[in-house]
């Protein structure tokens, strides 16, 4: 029984941990990876039931170490997918976020890189804008007094500090583009920063868009917040 509990809990753990790397390296399709997530919850639950049976009816076969390991593995298998599902319910099912939803920054150099992406390069539209404004009302155009050239340099530095891939930097147009590849699944999300002159002020807009997936689980909004914090930190130095 001890071996069975350990084996089932390990299988459950692997079913939720491995799908990301397997998809990232092209071993499985995204649908298969997500299926592993779903079934991992059930297998994790089965592992806990078996563990309970062992503790109640076969207590002598259970050790503290094996019980703890089984609980940890099964707990992770259950918690991770459920946490993602809960996150999906708490944010709108969108994947294109911009601080300017009326005239969002356009991808230039990144556009060809998204040619085969399921999510098109064009802005998602009014429905997405309405959902974003309701969920992330704090994401608005930034206003700075720094020179445009200085803001472009600071933007590039912030992108490098965050470990994103710099794709394009056009100081004359005030456009900086980058791509972030997520660690677990290897999803590629694109970012464009637009810096516009308006008299003595500079207005900065940021747009972040996923190449794949209907819902980004709030990742693009989180990315914009992270970038803004890093940009302000660079400018403050």
Dump pLDDT digits (tens) for 52-61.
999 888 887 8
**Beta strands, E only, the chain:** 96-98, 142-144, 165-170, 175-181, 188-198, 201-210
**What are the sequence ranges of the domains in the chain?**
1-90, 96-236
| pLDDT value of residue 142 | 97
For 96-236, CATH gives 3.30.530.50
Dump pLDDT digits (tens) for 86-120.
999 999 999 999 999 999 999 999 999 999 999 99
Sign of the torsion angle spanned by Cα atoms 198, 159, 225, 221 = positive
180 beta partners? 189
CA angle in degrees (0–180, nearest 5) for 83-87-88: 120
């Amino acid at each position: 029984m001890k071996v069975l509990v350990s084996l089932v809990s390990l299988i459950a753990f692997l079913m939720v941990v491995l799908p990301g790397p397997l998809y990232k390296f092209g071993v499985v399709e995204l649908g298969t990876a997500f299926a592993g997530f779903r079934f991992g919850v059930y297998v994790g639950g089965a592992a806990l039931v078996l563990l309970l049976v062992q503790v109640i009816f076969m207590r002598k076969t259970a050790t503290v170490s094996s019980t703890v390991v089984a609980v940890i593995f099964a707990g992770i298998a259950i918690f991770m997918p459920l946490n993602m599902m809960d996150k999906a319910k708490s944010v709108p099912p969108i994947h294109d976020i911009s601080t300017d939803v009326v005239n969002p920054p356009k991808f230039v150099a990144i556009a060809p890189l998204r040619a085969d992406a399921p999510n098109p390069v064009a802005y998602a539209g009014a429905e997405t804008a309405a959902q974003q404004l309701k969920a992330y009302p704090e994401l608005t155009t930034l206003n700075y007094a720094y020179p445009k050239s200085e803001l472009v340099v600071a933007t590039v530095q912030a992108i490098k500090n965050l470990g994103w891939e710099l794709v394009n930097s056009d100081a004359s147009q005030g456009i900086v583009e980058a791509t972030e590849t997520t660690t677990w699944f290897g999803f590629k999300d694109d970012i464009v920063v637009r810096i516009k002159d308006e008299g003595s002020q500079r207005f900065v807009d940021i747009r972040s868009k996923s190449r794949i997936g209907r819902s980004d689980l709030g990742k693009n909004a989180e990315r914009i917040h992270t970038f803004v914090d890093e940009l302000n930190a660079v400018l403050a130095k």
